[in-house]
C-alpha cells in the first residue's frame, strides 16, 4: 500500500504505479467521493473511452447493493 502526503495547499501526488495502472493522464478529471472515513478518487471517462467496456459481461450479473453515504 502506498502513502501520500498532503501539501500545505491540500494537494496530493498520485503515485506513478497507480497512475499507470489506472491510465490517469495529466489534466484528467477525477470524481472525489467521501465514503465513511476515507476519500475515493474515481477517474472520469469520456463516452468514447467507455465504448465496449461491458462487452462480454454476463447478463445474469447481480449488482452490489448501493453504498450508504
Beta pairing, strands 38-43 & 30-35: antiparallel
Residue 51 burial (CB < 10 Å; 0-12/13-18/19+)? exposed
Q: What is the pLDDT of residue 58?
A: 73
pTM, whole model, 2 decimals? Answer: 0.60
- Per residue in 3-61, pLDDT tens? 999 999 999 999 999 999 988 999 999 999 998 899 999 888 777 766 776 777 777 77
Q: Is 38 helix (H, G, I), strand (E, B) or coil?
A: strand
Q: What is the pLDDT of residue 41?
A: 92
Amino acid at each position: 500500500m502506498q502513502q501520500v502526503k498532503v501539501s500545505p495547499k491540500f494537494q496530493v501526488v498520485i503515485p506513478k504505479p497507480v497512475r499507470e495502472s489506472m491510465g490517469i493522464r495529466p489534466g484528467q478529471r477525477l470524481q472525489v467521493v467521501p465514503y465513511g472515513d476515507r476519500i475515493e478518487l474515481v477517474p472520469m471517462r469520456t463516452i468514447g473511452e467507455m465504448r465496449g467496456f461491458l462487452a462480454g459481461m454476463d447478463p445474469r450479473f447481480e449488482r452490489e447493493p448501493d453504498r450508504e453515504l
